[in-house]
Amino acid sequence: MDIRTKATNFELKESVSDYLDGRIATIERHLGIEAQNARLEVEIGRDAGHSQRGENWFAEFQLRIPGGNYARVVAEAETVQAAIDEAKDEVLRKLRTSKREHAGFLRKSGAALKRMLRME
């Protein structure tokens, strides 16, 4: 998988980078063989001027699979780890949904083809 990481308004430390790599590995496992051609663009940063109190972090994931799925997710949380987790969970949810839709389409088109063949 081609992974591109960008840090906005903070310095990406090794601990955060390792945490992100662990979460990205989950996405790779879910993709299986499609992970070879996929590209994941990750942007992590601190929201500037979003709130008067507390630290606000965001994580943006853009997953592109040639000839297949495209998922863009933006998650906000109070810690960078929580933002990464939310974004990862949302990407996996979108991938599962599109996989179910694709399977349903194949099932329906197969049934329609079978009905057409019976009409002869």
Mean pLDDT (whole number) for 103-107: 75
Buried b (16+ CB within 10 A) or exposed e, 89-108: ebbbebbeeeeeeeeeeeee
User: 39 — phi, psi (to 5°)?
Assistant: -130, 130
Share of the chain above pLDDT 90, in %: 46
pLDDT of residue 75: 92
35 contact partners, CB below 8 Å, separation of at least 6: 1, 28
**Greater pLDDT, 73 or 113:** 73
Q: Is the pLDDT of residue 18 over 70?
A: yes
Q: How far apart are CA 111 and CA 89, in angstroms?
A: 33
Q: What is the CATH number of domain 2-119?
A: 3.30.160.100
pLDDT of residue 51: 56
Among 3-17, 28-42, 71-85, 104-118, whose mean pLDDT is lowest?
Answer: 104-118
Domain locations in the chain?
2-119
H helix or E strand, kind and range, residue 72: strand 70-77
Across all residues in the chain, what is the average pLDDT?
86
Q: How far apart are CA 35 and CA 31, in angstroms?
A: 5
- Give 43-71 pLDDT, tens digit per residue: 999 887 655 566 689 999 999 988 777 88
Question: Residue 44 burial by CB count (10 A; 0-12/13-18/19+): exposed, middle or buried?
Answer: buried
pLDDT of residue 66: 85
